[in-house]
Structure formats: C-alpha cells, structure tokens
C-alpha cells in the first residue's frame, strides 16, 4: 500500500460502511425493497438508489470532466422544474430495483473505492455546492451512507453495531458547527463546544478547547445520529452543558442544502418486529 493510499483511509472506511449495509440487505426479497422507511416515506429502493446516484456523482467529480458538468446540469434542470430527488435519481438508475439495484450499487462503490484510495487527498473536486477536497468528498459519501443506513436498520428492526470508522462522521459534524448557524441564519457563537465522546471501541475522542464553558459529552454514535438528523436530541443520552451546546444540537446538520429540521422526538426509532 502506498503513502497516498494510507492517507485516504476514508475511502476504505466508506467501503466498509457500504459493505455493512449490503450485508444487512442481501437476504431481502425483491418485494422487501418496496417497504417504506421512516425517512420521508422513502422505500429501501429509494435509499439505495439515492446512495448509488450520489456515489456516481462523487466519482464523476473526481474525474473533473464533461461527465460531471452534464450530470450536475441535468440534476439542476430537473430539480429546478419541480421534479423530486427520487424522480431525478430514477433517470440514472433506469428503473432498476431490488437485488439487481443492490448489486449495481455494490459493484460501483467497490470500484470507486479504488479510485479514491489512490487520489491526491488535497485534489479539489466539484460538487453541487462549494468545491471540496477528495478526502472531504469520500468522507461525505461515508457520512451519507452511514446516515441513510440508519433508516434501513430501523425499518428492519436490527440493532446497529458501529465501528470506530464513524470518527469520520464525528469530524464532519464538528467541522460543520459554523455551517449549522449559517444555514439557519443564526448569530455564530464565539466558541465551538468542547466534545468528549466515547467511541464504539471505548476510546475517548476529544475535540475543541476543554476549557470551553459549553460541553457535549456521551457516545460518539449518538453525536453522529444528531448531526446527521437521524435522531432528535431528545431521543439520545448526550450530556449538554451550556446554551450554545443545547442550541447547536437542536439545529445540527452536517449535510449540505437548505436548513432542515431534525425529526420530531420519537419518530425515528428501531421498529419492533
């Protein structure tokens, strides 16, 4: 393995997260993929189609050519004319569903992992919003895969077992502190709360100044759940100290786009089957 590959461990983390989701879904029947989740009524087909299309977009942006421009223009045109995200994505997935779509998604994310693994981590790539580094791009794919997988685990009534690779998502969540206030048009606090989070393996992860008055403490996976808006802050056991810590966790979103509200308390949870 080269130094460049080592520097983009995030590509392998993305692949491992995707593999965990594949294993979760691999024994479902084609009909099972039509089941609705707790995320906007999206079906399992919708979720996998969404992940595949935006993996494809990130891969095209890494190439930095006409294919990316064509994709972005087509997306903006359809969405600008009132099409839903799912309707646009179906133009890319071409009606594929069920286990066929699952395998298409798997084959593609495995291939793109090899391309991102050897990319220059600092290479600038295009996106629907601001440009970003290749490292940030594949980290974002990991984050979105992890976030959308939660509604799959919940719908299927499966307890999720996280790994320390979710540190990538914690980092994105922490780095988007200012973004949360910007997108919600709120005054930016002077300091980012101190984070003291326990990883899935039991390691303590600390971020920001421990002398800060505002503190967030608890499980790293619960912090990830809140910043990706797959859980309301009231549905987790994070310990919040200070007004800024409480406000941030009430508006947190580590993803791009317009301001989004977190799910209402109790609406995102594991289904008991």
Q: Could you report the per-residue pLDDT of 83-130, keeping only the tens digit for each? A: 999 999 999 999 999 999 999 999 999 999 999 999 999 999 999 888
> 167-251 adopts what CATH topology?
Nonspecific Lipid-transfer Protein; Chain A (3.30.1050)
Domains 3-159 and 167-251 share a fold: no
Report whether pLDDT(71) > 50: yes
The fraction of the chain above a pLDDT of 70, given in percent, is: 97
Domains in the chain: boundaries = 3-159, 167-251
Residue 146's alpha-carbon distances to 16, 80, 86, 103, 150, in angstroms, are 10, 28, 19, 18, 7
Residues 6+ apart with CB under 8 A from 45: 33, 34, 97, 98, 101
The pLDDT, as a whole number, for residue 88 is 94
The pLDDT, as a whole number, for residue 2 is 43
What CATH code would you report for 3-159?
A: 1.20.120.450
2-14 mean pLDDT: 74
Reported confidence tier of residue 1, pLDDT bands at 50, 70, 90? very low
The pLDDT, as a whole number, for residue 3 is 43
Residue 112's alpha-carbon distances to 15, 33, 38, 45, in angstroms, are 9, 24, 29, 21
The pLDDT, as a whole number, for residue 64 is 79
251-265 mean pLDDT: 94
Report whether pLDDT(178) > 70: yes
Kindly report, residue by residue over 188-246, the tens digit of the pLDDT: 999 999 999 999 999 999 999 999 999 999 999 999 999 999 999 999 999 999 999 99
Residue of 168, 198, 179 whose CA lies nearest to 254 = 179
The pLDDT, as a whole number, for residue 5 is 43
Report whether pLDDT(4) > 80: no
The pLDDT, as a whole number, for residue 7 is 64
């Amino acid at each position: 393995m080269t130094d460049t590959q080592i520097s983009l461990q995030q590509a392998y983390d993305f692949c491992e997260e995707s593999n965990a989701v594949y294993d979760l879904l691999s024994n479902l029947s084609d009909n099972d993929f039509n089941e609705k989740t707790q995320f906007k009524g999206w079906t399992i087909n919708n979720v996998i189609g969404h992940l595949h299309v935006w993996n494809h977009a990130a891969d095209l942006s890494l190439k930095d050519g006409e294919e990316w421009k064509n994709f972005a223009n087509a997306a903006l045109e359809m969405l600008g004319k009132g099409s839903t995200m799912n309707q646009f994505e179906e133009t890319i997935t071409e009606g594929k569903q069920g286990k066929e779509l699952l395998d298409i998604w798997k084959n593609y994310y495995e291939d793109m992992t090899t391309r991102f693994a050897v990319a220059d981590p600092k290479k600038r790539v295009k996106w629907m919003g601001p440009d970003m580094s290749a490292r940030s791009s594949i980290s974002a794919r990991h984050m979105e895969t992890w976030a959308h997988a939660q509604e799959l685990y919940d719908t299927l009534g499966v307890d999720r077992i996280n790994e320390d690779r979710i540190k990538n998502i914690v980092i994105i969540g922490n780095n988007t502190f200012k973004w949360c206030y910007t997108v919600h048009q709120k005054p930016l606090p002077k300091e980012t709360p101190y984070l003291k989070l326990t990883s899935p393996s039991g390691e303590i992860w600390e971020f920001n100044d421990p002398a800060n008055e505002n503190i967030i403490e608890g499980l790293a996976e619960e912090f990830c759940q809140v910043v990706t808006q797959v859980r309301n802050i009231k549905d987790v056991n994070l310990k919040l100290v200070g007004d800024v810590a409480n406000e941030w966790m009430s508006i947190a979103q580590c993803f791009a786009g317009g301001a989004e509200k977190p799910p209402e308390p109790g609406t995102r949870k594991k289904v008991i089957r």
